[in-house]
Amino acid sequence: MAGTAAHAQTVKVPEGTEVVISVEDKLSSETSHEGDRFSISLVDDVVLPDGGKLPAGLKGAGEVTHAKKKGMMGKPGELNVRFDYLKAGDAKIKLRGQKGAEGDARYGTTITLTVLFGPLGLIKHGKDVEIKPGQRMTIFTDADATVALASSPVTPASAPAPVAATAPVGTAN
């Protein structure tokens, strides 16, 4: 361990900093439930006004705030999610971002089927909403944050090189 040290770089992340995140888990109005947690990660490095940088790959979390399966008569599924934070070292960078989506409605199709086929036309379903792993979204930091990021270990130039120890060779009795 002699000669190596980990240094922390402190960076200031202002409120409203734009970040691009990637959703790590599959989310669907069909299978997700309110309160389900999911993982996110920072897609690209973010250069900050003070010259610091948030490195790509920071992990974080979000939560499903509303999920409703598709319904009969062409009623679409609904899915709302909230992005909570990115973790940088021991600190959490709060995020401000929500995404709400509704699946395709098929009311026109449903009405046509009902007229042509009677009650059987009401069996037509809308579409569920799906967020696939890897889907990218742009969101923003919710508050000013100061975080310490670990930088790679460095070896000082003045540190002596390690010396290998050898045991003396003796004669057996």
Give the global pTM.
0.67
Q: What is the pLDDT of residues 157-173, one digit of tens each?
A: 444 444 444 444 444 44
Mean per-residue pLDDT, 10-24: 93
- Provide the residue type at 13 as one letter: V
Is residue 154 left, alpha or beta, with left meaning phi > 0 and alpha meaning psi from -120 to 50?
Answer: beta
The pLDDT-based confidence of 3 (bands split at 50, 70, 90) is very low
pLDDT of residue 31: 93
User: What is the rounded CA–CA span in Å between residue 128 and residue 66?
Assistant: 13
Which residue is associated with the tokens 């130039």? 157
Torsion of CA 65, 70, 75, 81, to 10 degrees: 20
Q: What is the pLDDT of residues 47-92, one digit of tens each?
A: 999 888 999 999 999 999 988 888 766 678 888 889 899 999 889 9
Looking at the chain, how many residues does it have? 173
Q: What is the pLDDT of residues 32-43, one digit of tens each?
A: 999 999 999 999
Q: What structural domains does the chain harbor?
A: 14-148 (2.40.128)
